[in-house]
Amino acid sequence: MIPVLVFACGLLAGFGVYAVLSSAPGETALYTANAPEPIGPYSQAVQSGDYLFISGQIGLDPVTGNLSGTAAGEARQAMENLRAVLAEGGLDFSDVVQTRIYLTDLADFNAVNAVYAGYLQEPYPARATVQVAALPKGARVEIEMIASVR
What pLDDT is recorded for position 2? 55
3-state DSSP assignment of residue 108: helix
On whether the CB atoms of residues 79 and 115 are closer than 8 A, the answer is yes
Q: Measure the CA–CA gap between 5 and 121, rounded to whole angstroms.
A: 62
User: Beta strands of 25-140 (E only): which ranges?
Assistant: 27-30, 45-48, 51-58, 96-103, 126-131
Q: The pTM is what?
A: 0.82
The answer to whether the beta carbons of residues 145 and 99 sit under 8 Å apart is: yes
> 25-148 adopts what CATH topology?
60s Ribosomal Protein L30; Chain: A; (3.30.1330)
pLDDT for the residue 26: 84
Instruction: Indicate the pairing of strand 27-30 with strand 96-103.
Output: unpaired
Domain boundaries, given as residue ranges, for the chain: 25-148
Chain segment 70-100, per-residue pLDDT in tens: 999 999 999 999 999 999 999 999 999 999 9
CA-CA distance, 13 to 36, in Å (whole number)? Answer: 45
Nearest 10 degrees: Cα torsion 91, 93, 96, 98: 150
pLDDT score, position 150: 84
In the chain, the percentage of residues whose pLDDT exceeds 90 is 81
Per-residue pLDDT of the chain (150 residues; tens, 9 = 90+): 554 433 444 433 443 333 333 334 689 999 999 999 999 999 999 999 999 999 999 999 999 999 998 999 999 999 999 999 999 999 999 999 999 999 999 999 999 999 999 999 999 999 999 999 999 999 999 999 999 998
